[in-house]
């Protein structure tokens, strides 16, 4: 096995997705993932703490992107506009080359209860990142929390739409559309 090759994380993710598709999530070991990727088990653990996390790779980066974009929004931006800026910034991570991988990850997660629970925890982390950044901008609660929750709903709605079979729309457009839908819906609650 090679000591070092580029794209190690992506190779591990692709190997895991192939194996999960062939044998089911529960029937695949870390050793098998590493072997399929042409790497060692030790290399796997340098990149991921367990096989569940291979499916949620990049969540820390995504949290940082969302929070940084909220922080960088113009001072005059409303909480909704700051969240919109965050969604637009996050969209850069969801180019067409990642769409098929996103579909495959969604399929594995949807078929496994423990993974769905882990996904919910990761979703809460992303929402908390936006809420924290909004609070740092001086947005008080409950507005900061509500804006972040709406942003989180818009993000995951866009992701679900983006990973539907046959969809070729841009993630950024789907995220902006979902945010507009949720903001319009909140106006009807009054």
| Residue-wise pLDDT tens digits, 49-72 | 999 999 998 888 999 999 999 999
Asked whether 156 and 92 are in contact (CB, 8 A), the reply is: no
Torsion over CA of 124, 128, 130 and 132, rounded to 10 degrees? Answer: 180
pLDDT tier for residue 5 given thresholds of 50, 70 and 90: low
Here the tokens at position 57 are 């790779």
**The tokens 């096989």 sit on which residue?**
51
Residues 28 and 65 in one domain: no
Tokens of 174: 């789907």
The range of the structural domain enclosing residue 36 comes to 8-54
Kindly report, residue by residue over 160-189, the tens digit of the pLDDT.
999 999 998 999 999 999 999 999 999 999
Say if CB 171 and CB 94 are below 8 A apart.
yes
Percent of the chain residues topping a pLDDT of 70: 97
State which H helix or E strand residue 152 sits in. helix 143-162
Alpha carbons 65 and 56: distance in angstroms, whole number: 16
Question: Based on the domain organization, do 29 and 49 belong to the same domain?
Answer: yes
For range 111-134, the mean pLDDT: 95
Quick one: 20 and 36 in the same domain? yes
- For residue 49, count other CB atoms closer than 10 A to its CB: 9
The closest of 63, 61, 52, 49 to 125, measured between CA atoms, is 63
Confidence (pLDDT) at 4: 55
What is the predicted pLDDT for the residue at 57? Answer: 84
Q: Which residues contact 157 (CB under 8 A, 6 or more apart)?
A: 174, 178, 181, 182
- Do 47 and 118 reside in the same domain of the chain? no
Residue 58: the pLDDT is 85
* Percent of the chain predicted with pLDDT > 90: 89
Asked if residue 179 and residue 104 are part of one domain, the reply reads yes
Does residue 116 lie in a domain region?
A: yes
78 φ, ψ (degrees, to nearest 5): -70, 165
- Give how many domains the chain has, as a whole number: 2
Taking all residues of the chain, what is their mean pLDDT, rounded to a whole number?
94
| 3 falls within a domain | no
Question: Which segment of 5-9, 26-30, 49-53, 144-148 scores lowest on mean pLDDT?
Answer: 5-9
Per-residue pLDDT at 1 exceeds 70: no
For residues 84 and 13, state if they share a domain.
Answer: no
User: Both 49 and 69 in a single domain?
Assistant: no
Structure tokens at 10: 């992506």
CB 94 within 8 A of CB 105: no
pLDDT in tens, 120-129: 999 999 999 9
Give the separation between CA 87 and CA 175, rounded to whole angstroms. Answer: 6
- Check residue 190 and give its pLDDT: 80
The yes-or-no verdict on residue 147 having pLDDT over 70 is: yes
């Amino acid at each position: 096995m090679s000591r070092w090759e580029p794209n190690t994380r992506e190779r591990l993710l692709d190997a895991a997705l192939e194996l999960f598709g062939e044998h089911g999530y529960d029937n695949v070991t870390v050793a098998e993932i590493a072997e399929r990727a042409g790497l060692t088990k030790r290399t796997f653990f340098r990149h991921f703490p367990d096989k569940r996390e291979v499916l949620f790779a990049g969540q820390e980066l995504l949290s940082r992107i969302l929070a940084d974009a909220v922080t960088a929004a113009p001072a005059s931006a409303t909480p909704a506009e700051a969240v919109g800026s965050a969604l637009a910034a996050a969209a850069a991570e969801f180019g067409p080359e990642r769409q098929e991988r996103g579909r495959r990850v969604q399929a594995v997660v949807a078929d496994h209860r423990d993974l769905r629970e882990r996904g919910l925890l990761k979703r809460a982390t992303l929402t908390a990142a936006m809420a924290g950044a909004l609070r740092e901008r001086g947005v008080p609660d409950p507005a900061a929390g509500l804006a972040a929750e709406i942003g989180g709903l818009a993000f995951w709605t866009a992701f679900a739409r983006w990973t539907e079979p046959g969809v070729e729309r841009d993630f950024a457009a789907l995220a902006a559309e979902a945010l507009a839908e949720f903001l319009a819906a909140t106006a009807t609650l009054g």
